[in-house]
A and B are shown apart, each in its own frame.
Chain A
Amino acid sequence: MSEMSKIVRTISNSLFPFIMIYGLYVIMHGHLTPGGGFQGGAVVASGCALMLVAYSSEWVFKKVKESNLSVLESIGAIGFISLAFLGIGVTFFYNFLVGSNLLFGEIPPAGPNTGNLNTAGLLPLMNLSVGLKVIAGLFAIVAVMAFVASRGMRKK
């Protein structure tokens, strides 16, 4: 599978940063707006899949190694479980950062309000780790399948 025409590549190049920014926004604002780690990670992984379609899988694997994607996914999984274990003094998955003066420690006023990014304790960190995991996992699946399919096409 070679790369697509110059028109497709130019449009993908100009769309790619906006998709990245939107996906990372959905991940980071998971505790304020609809969405979260899974949804934002899927958006970012679709943006990477756009580059995979516009260019070739060989080009993508020159930029990103598949083993690095596996390492990123494992970092996300280990981060999620260790964040859950940090609150083991009370229970598994205890949100100990809420109400403290540390990072993300504030409590918003009750009722509808615009919200503050510096709230919700462990939830933004868990959203980040799950988002990392989903980005790396979905992109690894798509990229490895595309790579093997293009190899099979060349053999014929």
Chain B
Amino acid sequence: MKNARNLIAVIALAICAVFLIFSSIMMHPFGKPSDSSMDDYIISNAQNETGANNAVTSVVFDYRGFDTLGEATVLFTAVAGVIMLFRREKHE
């Protein structure tokens, strides 16, 4: 049982290490800017498409709304955890 668990852990570690090594090899060279077509699209179209003068807000709440949803969920979880942890003390 313990050997099988160790084997699974080693395999998982090997898979993670392979992905890490490949991503560090394929990283674009230092000092060379990456492809900027998405930035140009947002800069030229954000004002017209979302109607917001602040392009950062239009990215955060419109183009990448899912990211903000996850951020809000993280905050909700933090609040729930803190209140649950300290409420137990109140009933003593």
Contact = CB atoms under 8 A, between A and B. Distances in A.
Given A107-B48, A110-B47, A113-B53, A120 B58 contact: yes
Contact of B52 (A34, A99, A113, A120): A120
A127 B76 CA distance: 16
Interface residues of A, number: 48
Interface stretch (B15-23, B33-41, B79-87): B79-87
Taking chain B's interface residues, is the majority helix, strand, or loop, or is none over half, making it mixed?
helix
Interface size bucket, B side? 20 to 34
Interface in A115-138: 115, 119-123, 126-127, 130, 133-134, 137
B51 A141 contact: no
B75 A133 contact: yes
B79 A137 contact: yes
Interface of B: 47-54, 56-58, 60-62, 65-66, 68-69, 71-72, 75-76, 78-79, 82-83, 86-87, 89-90
